[in-house]
Amino acid sequence: MNSLTLEQTVLGLPKTERAHLLHLLLDSLDAASESETQEAWLAEASRRAAEIDSGQVTLVSSEQLEREVQALLK
C-alpha cells in the first residue's frame, strides 16, 4: 500500500478512529529508542556528577531531604 492509498483510507475512517490513530502516531514520534534513553540518562548523570565535583550543588542526606519535602507539603 502506498502513502496516498493509506492517506485516503485513514481519512475515510470515523473521527474517533482517526483521533485514536493520530494519538498513536504522535506518541510514536515522541518515544525515544532504548539507546537514546540510555544516552540521555548517561549525559544527565555526567552533568550531575560534574556539578557535585565542582561544588555547584550541595549534597544532603535522605533524612534532610525528607524533612524539606515534608515542610513543603505542609
Q: What is the pLDDT of residues 6-27, one digit of tens each?
A: 999 999 999 999 999 999 999 8
For the segment 43-72, the average pLDDT, to the nearest whole number, is: 95
Q: How confident is the model at residue 61 (pLDDT cuts 50, 70, 90)?
A: very high
**End-to-end Cα separation, the chain, in angstroms:** 59
Helix (H) or strand (E) holding 54: helix 34-54
Q: What is the pLDDT of residue 31?
A: 77
- Average confidence score pLDDT of the chain: 93
Q: What is the pLDDT of residue 60?
A: 94
Indicate if the pLDDT at residue 44 is higher than 80.
yes
Cα 15 from Cα 28, distance rounded (Å): 20
Predicted TM-score (pTM) of this structure: 0.50
Q: Which residue has the cell 485514536?
A: 20
